[in-house]
Amino acid sequence: MTVIAEIFSQGEELVNGQIVDSNAAWISQQLLELGFTVSRHTAVGDDLAALTDLLTEIANRADCCICSGGLGPTSDDLTVAAVSQASSLPLVFDEIALQQIEQFFQRRQRAMPEINRKQAWLPSGAQRIDNSLGTAPGFQLRYLRCHFVFLPGVPAEMQAMFNAQVKPSLQQHFQLNPDQLISIKSIGIGESAIQQRLAELEIPDCVQLGFRAASDEVHTKLRFRADYPEQLKLNLIEQAAGLIGDYVYTISGLNKTDDVDLIGVIDRLMQTQQCSVSLFESFSHGLLASRCWQKNWLKQAAIDGNGLQIADDDAIEPHLSQLAANLRQNQRSDFALIQAYRQIPDSSTQQIQIVLYNSLHTDNCVRYARHTLVGSHIHTLQQQAATLTLDLLRRYLQSTCP
């Protein structure tokens, strides 16, 4: 049975285009994984009449609606008033909500501003959704055909509340048969190249293939119906991952615990192999170090944005080997991971072009990797560089050094 869901986002900054509605995309993904059919996203500004109209529209055509935004303490936060007006439910003061808001400020050693009291008023009969990260409680209620869930617009708060409270509640409330979604996660290969490699794979019509490309990795997505035979599913995933090759760093969706990112994969491998590493970072200028926060296998992280600009390819290998030897000796680390780069001036376009040199040095071997990065946003290129440098370590750990 199809269960129709809609997403409703509130905020002047959304309809005015000051921020992109990433909440709607995140919530859609969660609903899809739970087994809902998402039919529509709508965003409106801070306008009581527009909010009230929209709530009533949705209440007549959807089974479920997740709303975010408009629960703040200020005068332009109108969601609660709109719900009350649309549904004719009076507002009641929730003492427990007030206590939670007061505790939020107490933990930060600040007095609660008087205007935050407003956030403890909820529509009569609504079920409160606690917010341990912020001041705005969420709530859920039924209005006409639709089960409405209201969450704050701050992504971290919204996501934590959705995961801990909304998800189990929706699973209880609706009969859902979610598809099984598998994500083959890869680094260093593009979407079209993956598509070419997968051309020879025979994918049954009932299995959906899709891609999600971020700036530094591509996820190849396979969606199987709930009743798809397990062994056929595993065979197809194995074939697909085999065709993509060693660009694949993990496959997520096979079981509950495997949804890790690149640093998660590296962390497990470093713990298992009981190794330590020292980093020397140049182009990504701190972004690589920031991903290794509180990892006990990190001996040292050094940054020098200018120190490892290399004049040409020939000069680089002896230079990096000497640096690595010093690093490993001084820090007594098993590995040294080094990032060097060369910026290529390009007068014809406005783009930045970087040649990135990564090297990993161990007792037994040295591995080099060279990449060319092109783009117009320096920060995106720096994030890509941090990922590619880390990925050299992942490739070493997942293989055996020759």
Query: CB of 364: closest distance to a second copy in angstroms?
Result: 28
Identify residues 217-276 at the interface with a second copy (CB under 8 A). none
Please provide the size of the chain in residues.
402
Query: CB of 401: closest distance to a second copy in angstroms?
Result: 28
- Position among 3, 10, 35, 46 found at the interface with a second copy (CB under 8 A): 46
- Position among 193, 207, 243, 366 found at the interface with a second copy (CB under 8 A): 193
In our burial notation (b when 16+ CB lie closer than 10 A, e otherwise), range 329-346 reads eebebbbbbbbbbbeeee
Does 216 interact with a second copy (rule: CB under 8 A)?
Answer: no
Does 382 interact with a second copy (rule: CB under 8 A)?
Answer: yes
Q: At a CB cut-off of 8 Å and minimum separation 6, what does 335 contact? A: 275, 276, 277, 278, 328, 360, 361, 362, 393, 396
Site map for a second copy, 302-341, x if CB under 8 A?
Answer: xx-x------------------------------------
Task: Tell me how crowded residue 185 is: count the other CB atoms within 10 A of its CB.
Answer: 24
Tokens standing for residue 26: 């995140």
**C-beta closer to a second copy: residue 138 or 141:** 138
Contact stretch for a second copy (CB under 8 A) within 83-91, 236-244, 295-303, 314-322:
295-303
- The sign of the CA dihedral 251, 254, 259, 260 is negative
Does 43 interact with a second copy (rule: CB under 8 A)?
Answer: yes
The per-residue DSSP string of 116-164 comes to: GGGGGEEETTPEEE--SSSS--EEEEEETTEEEEEE-SSHHHHHHHIII
The per-residue DSSP string of 191-224 comes to: HHHHHHHGGGS---TTSEEEEEE-SS-EEEEEEE
Identify residues 14-33 at the interface with a second copy (CB under 8 A). 14-22, 24-32
Closest alpha carbon to 336 in 307, 311, 304, 302: 302
- Position among 127, 273, 290, 399 found at the interface with a second copy (CB under 8 A): 290
Identify residues 70-129 at the interface with a second copy (CB under 8 A). 72-76, 107-109, 113-116
Does 201 interact with a second copy (rule: CB under 8 A)?
Answer: no
Contact stretch for a second copy (CB under 8 A) within 203-211, 242-250, 268-276, 313-321:
203-211
